[in-house]
Amino acid sequence: MILKNGYIILNNELVKKDILIEKNIIKAIEDNIDSKTEEVIDLNDKLVMPGLIDVHVHFREPGFEYKETIKSGTKASAKGGITTCMPMPNLNPVPDCKENLLKEMEIIKKDAVINCYPYGSVTIGEQGQERSKLEEFHDLVKAISDDGMGFNNMEILEAQMHLAKKYDIVIASHSEDFKYIKSKDPKGEIEAVKREIELAKQIGCRYHFCHLSTKESVDMVRKAKEEGYTNITCEIAPHHLVLNKTLVNLNANFKMNPPLREEVDRLACIEALVDGTCDCIATDHAPHSEFEKALDFVKAPNGIIGVETMFPLIYTEFVKTNIISLDRMLDLMVYNPIKVFKLPKRKLAVGEIADIAVFDINKCHTYSYGEIQSLSKNSPFIGRKLYGFNKLTIKDGEIIYNDLGGKNE
Ligand code: DOR
Ligand code: ZN
């Protein structure tokens, strides 16, 4: 297969190239590749990137298949140009032991259209009372988390941190102090980050803060990095970079945890995007059914879907506006996730596996309800005009999503 007339990112510049893919390998990247035998796909000046990586998704299977399944979630991700993801463990059964993890991995093997690296849980049933037996399943995971629940038993967390260090896996923290769980006061995040960062500094395990949303927590991670703690990393979700709390109305599609914060917090998150404090963009893709989201705002569950809009939001708001560079965008959505979680290497280069997404950065498109691939439709971005929707996704040399509209669109 030849991908013709795409733009790749080379040293922070867009350069027009053709790409030859044979079987699952990139065989050539040159100014002009012609062949009478190969299938030719004209990309018409679109942006070609390595497939994106989303280190924080909820695919709800096993347990809550009416919200999302591994199949629907990975297909929605493929539509968004994501070829690798890390599903969180708030499932039923919770992957808190080898047996449950293997159950989840079986479904992944059968149904996933992209690469999935599931998280194990930190505590049994994510209940915070008893640690999971990491020594029995560490070889099956890149990371563990109790996402959705904060760590409020420091002895258990400490014990798991020592084991995580021993086995060289990441602990991903949904930092939240239970005292503030009802009020959603930003102190809930700030106090948890403060105490966890101290433990991570002392113990030296790889410690990753999920969906940071406040200025104070971003500042603490920046300081730790300045002090040289390379084991401490963080992610920020697109919605915390693009929306603030003034937009929260009674529409539960604007309800998530952590919630939308003040404008100063949003600006601090953007600063972290610019100055390198933020390692990864991660969506916290959290599907909930229309029935649940139609409940009274207070009763409706937290969470919004995100895999289909991750790239267009970041591209439109921060790259097109020159707030971050092309190279920084690549780091945030591809290379840093690989480094932080020690995932298999991906690169748009000759000899590498063909793992590619093609984004239409020249066309503005209104994101609509009808196009949503995810089983749940809870997006606050429906109706938003964005550049950079994905048009073609290739995983291991195989087309897994194609919206080019014919060979010569
Ligand atoms: O908004 C959220 N939704 N935040 C979480 O931490 C969990 C997630 C979910 O599982 O729905
Ligand atoms: Zn989450």
Ligand closest in space to the Cα of 184: 1
CA angle 183–55–306, rounded 5-degree value:
65
Nearest residue (CA) to ligand 1, atom 7: 148
Q: What is the mean pLDDT of residues 319-333?
A: 98
CA angle 293–296–300, rounded 5-degree value:
40
Residue in 90, 235, 283, 305 to alter for ligand 1 test, most ligand atoms within 8 A of Cβ: 90
Residue 301 CA, closest ligand 1 atom number: 11
> Under DSSP, is residue 357 helix (H, G, I), strand (E, B) or coil?
strand
Residues in the chain: 409
Instruction: Encode pLDDT of 334-393 as tens digits.
Output: 999 999 999 999 999 999 999 999 999 999 999 999 999 999 999 999 999 999 999 999
Report yes or no: 145 and 121 within 8 Å, Cβ to Cβ. yes
- Written as six digits, the tokens of 92 are 């039923």
CB atoms within 10 A of CB 174: 23
195: phi then psi, degrees, rounded to nearest 5: -75, -35
Instruction: Encode pLDDT of 266-314 as tens digits.
Output: 999 999 999 999 999 999 999 999 999 998 899 999 999 999 999 999 9
Reported as a pLDDT band with limits 50, 70 and 90, residue 406 is low
Active site residue 139: no
Task: For residue 90, report the distance from its CA to the centre of ligand 1, in Å.
Answer: 9
Among residues 284, 331, 355, 360, which one is catalytic?
284
Alpha-carbon gap, residue 257 to 235, rounded angstroms: 14
Reported as a pLDDT band with limits 50, 70 and 90, residue 407 is very low
> Under DSSP, is residue 192 helix (H, G, I), strand (E, B) or coil?
helix
As beta bridge partners, residue 21 has: 26
> Under DSSP, is residue 216 helix (H, G, I), strand (E, B) or coil?
helix
Burial letters 282-315, b for 16+ CB under 10 A, else e: bbbbbbbbeebbeeeeeebbebbbbbbbbbbbbb
Report yes or no: 147 and 90 within 8 Å, Cβ to Cβ. yes
Q: Is 393 in the pocket of ligand 1 (CB under 6 A)?
A: no
Task: For residue 258, report the distance from its CA to the centre of ligand 1, in Å.
Answer: 8
**Mean pLDDT over the full length of the chain:** 96
pLDDT(175) > 70: yes
Residue 90 CA, closest ligand 1 atom number: 10
pTM: 0.98
pLDDT(93) > 80: yes
Identify the residue with better confidence: 183 or 265. Answer: 265
Residue 302 CA, closest ligand 1 atom number: 1
Instruction: Encode pLDDT of 214-260 as tens digits.
Output: 999 999 999 999 999 999 999 999 999 999 999 887 799 999 999 99
Alpha-carbon gap, residue 267 to 280, rounded angstroms: 17
Reported as a pLDDT band with limits 50, 70 and 90, residue 182 is confident
**Residue % of the chain over a pLDDT of 90:** 95
Report the pLDDT value the prediction gives residue 36, as an integer from 0 to 100: 85
As beta bridge partners, residue 82 has: 52
> Under DSSP, is residue 22 helix (H, G, I), strand (E, B) or coil?
strand
pLDDT(157) > 80: yes
**Which structural domains are found in the chain, ordered by start?**
2-48+349-402 (2.30.40.10), 51-341 (3.20.20.140)
pLDDT(317) > 50: yes
pLDDT(409) > 80: no
pLDDT(203) > 90: yes
Alpha-carbon gap, residue 5 to 104, rounded angstroms: 40
Task: For residue 60, report the distance from its CA to the centre of ligand 1, in Å.
Answer: 11
Alpha-carbon gap, residue 300 to 295, rounded angstroms: 5
Task: For residue 216, report the distance from its CA to the centre of ligand 1, in Å.
Answer: 21
CB atoms within 10 A of CB 246: 9
Q: Is 148 in the pocket of ligand 1 (CB under 6 A)?
A: yes
Residue 174 CA, closest ligand 1 atom number: 6
